[in-house]
Chains A and B, each alone.
Chain A
Amino acid sequence: MTLPSAHQESLPPAGPSWRSEFWAGVRAILPLLFGVSPFGMIYGALAISTGMPVGAAQAMSAIVFAGSSQFATVPLAQAGAPALVMVVTIAVLNVRHALYSASIAPYLKHLSPLWKVGLAYLLTDEAYAASIGHLENSPAVRSRHCFFLGAGLTLWGVWQASTAVGIFLGEIIPSSWPLDFTLALTFIAMVAPLLKDRAGVAAGLSAGVVAVAGYHLPYKLGLVAAALVGITVGLLVEGRRR
């Protein structure tokens, strides 16, 4: 330990500053949990209702830990889609995390690799949304990453727990209920706030039309084509308005 400061960063620095940042992060994410836990439960129930094994359904919440991609995998697995298509779908749906990663990186720059590797696992839509304002403004430069740790760990725990509750409920709910419709409804709720400008709407509409037109393409390639067309149309509409 030649560098005292490096030593300090490689371990959670003890003291009131670290603790207060951590608990402030926990408090900051609490309001978001009301929105997250129903999604976790619906995901668990939906996965079980389509015949996904309990272990895999729960493990996906721990390993992938990203709601929309977990939801999207459920019908693909049920339809027996090729593994590559499912992996690509998960990866494409989660590309947006690169944006969060770029946005949050300056505030984690001084941390040890161990901290970076650990905190990256907790980088979700909600943890990012709850933390970024604090990271930008907090004067606690040395301990503000603990705010993100508190928010991220809390969200992780609630996501795992709500998935487990959903799996339990899914085994009770009769299979005749149209539980799979919650997938479309969940996505409608997720997409509405994203359609806030003309370019976003154009991206969504064009992708939707291509997805329906290409529904019968093999390997669910219609979804991939739809995503590419939607992104291109969004960029074109945005570019023209500049």
Chain B
Amino acid sequence: MKLWLVLLAGGLLTYLTRLSFIALFGRQEMPDLVQRGLRFVPPAVLSAIIFQELLVPGGQFDFSLHNFRLLAGLAAGFIAWRFRQPLLVILVGMAVLLLLTLIP
């Protein structure tokens, strides 16, 4: 039940964001600072989640060679930076994680 409320509220806010300037056009301009700040929302939020997933796996901070998710994530990051192929990033990252897990 809670999840459905989240979906409806989150969906409504997303929709209103999409509609915002299409509906308002001609009446309101976006402030310059907001417009420049919006550009940093995706890199900031995505990086925040990536850092948590890689450095705090299972709720414990782990910056070491035993943190397989960190190593696999670094490999995936290299692929993403070098090749810009989303599917390749996911395949290499999963392959590295599975290989590290299999090695005794």
A interface vs B, CB < 8 Å?
34-35, 38-39, 42, 52-53, 56, 59-60, 63-66, 68-69, 72-73, 77, 83, 86-87, 90-102, 104-106, 108-109, 113, 116-117, 119-121, 123, 178, 181-195, 199-201, 203-212, 215, 222-223, 226-227, 229-231, 234-235, 238
Contact A97-B14, Cβ < 8 Å, known A185-B93, A212-B55, A227-B48: yes
Contact A192-B13, Cβ < 8 Å, known A184-B73, A205-B47, A223-B48: no
What are some 12 contacts across the A-B interface (CB < 8 A)? A39-B86, A64-B10, A64-B11, A91-B13, A93-B41, A97-B17, A102-B20, A108-B25, A116-B22, A200-B39, A231-B44, A234-B39
Q: Give bound CA distance, A191 to B47, whole Å.
A: 7
Contact assessment for A105 and B11 in the assembled complex, using a CB-CB cutoff below 8 Å: no
Q: Give bound CA distance, A226 to B97, whole Å.
A: 27
Contact assessment for B3 and A207 in the assembled complex, using a CB-CB cutoff below 8 Å: no
Chain B residues with Cβ under 8 A from A203's Cβ?
40, 43-44, 47
Q: Taking chain A's interface residues, is the majority helix, strand, or loop, or is none over half, making it mixed?
A: helix
Q: How many residues of B contact A (CB 8 A)?
A: 67
Residue of A whose beta carbon sits closest to that of B13: A91
Contact assessment for A94 and B77 in the assembled complex, using a CB-CB cutoff below 8 Å: no
Interface string of B41-54 (1 = CB under 8 A from A): 11111111111111
